Structure 1
Amino acid sequence: MKVQPGVSKSKKAQQKDPHTISSMGTMRIGPEFKSRISEHEGKILALATRNVVTLPPTATIMEAIKIMTEKRFRRIPITDAGTRRLEGVVTSVDIIDFLGGGTKNLLVENRFKGNLLAAINTEVRQIMETNIPYLNDQADFKDAVSMMVEKRTGGLPIVNNNMQVVAIFTERNAIELMGGLVTNRTVDEYMTENVKMVSTDTPIGQAAKVMVSNRLRRLPVVKDGIFAGIVTSSDIVHFLGRGDAFTKLTTGNIHEAFDQPVGSIVSRELIWTEPGTDLGKAMEIMLEKKIGSLPILEDGVLRGIITERDFLRSLLE
C-alpha cells in the first residue's frame, strides 16, 4: 500500500425570496478567532469523529454506495477485516469516476465488457485510493489542517501506532470549531472566482465528468444564466443509491440514469451569502444547513463560491 506518512479555491441570479439565506442579521460575538484555534492544539482525537464506519477491501462497490447514501458520507476508510489496519479510502468522487465520470470507468469497459451490474458487485479495492494521507493519533489541530490543505483532501483517517483506524478528521470537524465567531475576514478574500458551471439541462453523467476531470466535488448550476443551485459528487451518489435510479443502477442501465438533467437533483432551496459576510457567519450558515460550500452573490450576480477547504486555508494565515 502507498499510504503517505502522516504528520511525518456570469450572470444574474435569482432574487431574494423567503427560502433564501443571506448574510444579514445579528451574529453572536464569540472568542477571538486565533484564540479558538490555539485552544485546540494537540487535541486531534478530541476533535475527530471516533465512531468510524469502515469497509474491508472485499466489500462490494455497491455496499459502499449504499453506506454513502444511507449515512450521507463523502468518504469511507478501507481497512483490513482482521487487523483494522488502514489500506485505503473510497470517496464519492471515486464512485462517480467509476460509474462513468472518468478513467476508473475503464474497469467497467475493459474488465467487465461494459457489464455494470457485474462491475458494481466487484470489490471496492478495485477503485479505492491507496496513496492517501493520514495522521497519527498524537497529531494536533494544525497538523490536520495543514495536511488537508496541502493534499487537497476533505478528510484524514487517524491511526494508532499499529496503523489501525481509530478516528477520522474532516473539514466539517474543523469548521464546527469556528462557526459563528467573528474573524474579521470576509468571504470574498478567500472565495474561488471564475468557477466552472453547468446548466440545469446538462446530463448528470456529463456533470460527473466535469467534476472528475477538474478534481472538483461541486459545481454551480445555472438556468438561462440564472443561478439555480449547486450539485455535488455526493448528490450524484445519493441520487444513484435510491429510488428509480438505484433500480437502473442494479439492473445495469446506468446510462439511463446518467442521462437525466442535473437540474433534477439540485436542491430547490437556494442558500447563499454576500461578499462582505464574515467567515465565521458563513461557516455558521453552512453548518446550520449542512452544506459544504456557499455561493457568493452580489446584486443578484454569482461572484464566486467559498468551500470548507477555503475556510481551512484561512486558518493557516
Structure 2
Amino acid sequence: MTAEELVGINKKEVLRAKIESIRLPDVMDKEFATVRPDDRLGDVLAKMTELDLHEIPVSQDGKRMAGLVSYGTVIRRKNLSIDAKVSTIAITPPAVSPDTAITEAAEVLLREGYRQLPIVDNGRIEGVLSRGHILSMLNNIPELRDVPVESIMSPEVRTAKGKDRVVDAVTVMRDLDIRILPVVDDMERIMGIVGFKDVASYNWREKKRQTVGEVVGDSYPADVLVESAMIEDPAIIAPGTTVGKAAEIMLKRNISSLPIAEERELRGIVTRYDLVELVASFRRRDMMYMQITGLEKGDRFEMDQMERVITQSMQKIARIIDPLMFSLHVGKYHNEGVGLSTL
C-alpha cells in the first residue's frame, strides 16, 4: 500500500513532515564496530556473525570512512578465499549524511539491500543506521503505528514443508531474494520457520572451510530436511495486529519476519522490509508511471515480485536520470506454443 492509498494525498504532506522531523542522529547508533582494510575476511565474517551484522564499515582509524563490507556482496562471491583482505572486497556505499531525511535513508536501506548503513559527514563516520532504528520510530507516529498489518503484508507467501530438502528451500529463497520461508504441514498450518541464518549456522560439514561459500553454508547434504533446521513454534501475529505492535515484536525478538495467521492457518507475512518500505513511501519524489500487462488475477505473487524488482532497478537508474515510464508485457510459455515477453 502506498502512502497516498494509506492517508490520502493531502494528509501525506502533513504526515511526511512529521516523519521527517525525526532526524537520523536522533535514532542512529553513535557507537559502532568497524574493521580495518588489511583485516582477514574470515575474521571479519566471524565478527559480523558474533555482532549479528549484515554490513560493517571499513576504517583505518575507526573514524574515517574507507568502505563497507556487506554480507550480501560477499555471499555472491562464494569462491572468494577467507584469507582475502577486506580491502579487496570493500564497496563504496551511497552517501548518506546526518542531514539526510529519514524517509530517504529508509529508501537507501531498501534499494541497496542493506540492514546497516553508515552515516557519514565529510568522510567521517558519525553513526550507523539500521532497519531496526526505522522500526523503533514507528510508535512515535500514531498514523503509522495504528495501521493494521493487513494493509502492508504480503498475502501470497511461498512456504516449505518439513520433509522438503534444505537445499531446495535455500534455492527458493535465493531465487525470490527472500531470507525466510514459513514451514507448513499437510493441512497448510504453520509449524515453523526456516531462514538463511538458521541454515548458515547449522554445522553441516566437518572439513576445514576455505572459501566464503563454505563459511556461510552454501552447500548442504542432499538428505538434510527442513524440519532439522527450522525454528519450531515461531512468533505469529493475528491479522488485526497493528504495525506498531509488529515492529515491537520484531525488535524484542530480534527477528525480521512475522507470519500472519488465524488458528495457525497462514494468511500472509510482514517483514522489516515492509515496515521500512512504509516509511520510505513518504519520501518526496517525482512519480514514475509503471504498467505491467499480460498477467492474470492469480499471478498476484509474481506481480508483487516484479513491481519490487522494477522499483529497485528504477531507483538505481534515478541516480543518473529520472525515469518517467516503464511498460512491460508478459507472455506465458505453453506446451502448445511459445508466448513472447516484450518490454
Query: TM-score, normalized by length of structure 2?
Result: 0.64
The code of the aligned residue for 1:268 comes to E
User: AA paired with 2:45?
Assistant: I
Q: Is the 1:134–1:156 contact (alpha carbons within 8 Å) kept by the matching residues of 2?
A: no
Whether 2:45 is the aligned partner of 1:85: answer no
Per the alignment, residue 311 of structure 1 pairs with 275
1:211-246 CA-partner distances (Å, limit 9, x unpaired) = 333322322233444423333333344x15xxx558
1:160 corresponds to which residue?
Answer: 121
1:172 and 2:136 are equivalent in the alignment? no
Instruction: Return the offset for 1:157.
Output: 1.1
Larger mean CA deviation between 246-255 and 266-275 belongs to 246-255
Matched residue count: 261
Q: Which runs of 5+ in 2 are unaligned?
A: 2-13, 283-343
What CA deviation, in whole Å up to 9, does each residue of 1:151-181 have, x standing for no partner? 443332111212x323110110111122497
Given candidates 5, 30, 44, the residue that maps to 2:24 is 44
CA change 1:55–1:223 in 2 (3 A) is farther
Distance 1:64 1:204, change over 3 A: farther
Contact 1:219–1:230 (CA<8 Å) still a contact in 2?
yes
User: Matched residues in 2 for 1:282 and 1:214: separation?
Assistant: 23
* Runs of 4+ more than 6 Å apart: 34-37
Residues of 2 paired with 1:70 and 1:120: CA distance? 17
CA drift at 1:94: 4.1
Change (3 A) 1:303 1:158: same
Corresponding residue of 1:140? 101
Q: How big is each residue's C-alpha offset from its partner over 1:75-113, in whole Å with a ceiling of 9 and x where there is no partner?
A: 22233468732312322x445x35xxxxx23x35xxxxx
CA distance in 1, matches of 2:249, 2:62: 41
Partners in 2 of 1:313 and 1:226 — Cα distance? 28
Identity of paired residues, percent? Answer: 24
User: 2:260·2:267 contact (CA, 8 Å) conserved in 1?
Assistant: yes
Number of the residue aligned with 2:172: 210
The CA RMSD over aligned residues, in Å, is 3.4
Q: Which residue of 295, 298, 303 maps to 2:259?
A: 295
Kept in 2: contact 1:159–1:166 (CA 8 A): yes
For 1:50 and 1:302, locate their aligned partners in 2 and report how far apart those are by CA, in whole Å.
39
Report the CA distance between 1:41 and its aligned residue: 2.2
Match of 2:50 among 67, 70, 86: 70
Bigger mean CA deviation after superposition, 63-72 or 289-298: 63-72
Aligned position for 1:268? 232
The match for 2:248 is 284
Note closer, same or farther for the CA distance 1:197–1:169 as it changes in structure 2 (3 Å cut): same
C-alpha distance in 1 between matches for 2:73 and 2:210 = 21
Q: State the distance in 2 between where 1:263 and 1:94 align.
A: 29
Offset at residue 46 of structure 1 (A) = 2.4
Change in 2 beyond 3 A, CA 1:88/1:72: closer
Distance 1:70 1:185 in 2: 34
1:114-129 aligned at under 5 Å gives the runs 119-128=81-90
Contact 2:19 2:103 survives alignment (8 Å): no
* Correspondence for 1:21: none
Deviation string, structure 1 residues 57-85 (Cα, Å, up to 9, x no partner): 43233213311222222322233468732
Q: Which moved more, 1:184-193 or 1:216-225?
A: 216-225
Gaps of 5+ in 1: 1-8, 10-33, 99-103, 109-118
Contact 1:78–1:90 (CA<8 Å) still a contact in 2?
A: no
Greater radius of gyration (CA): 2
2:195 aligned residue:
232
Question: Structure 1 residues 85 and 51 mapped into 2: Cα distance closer, same or farther (>3 Å)?
Answer: same
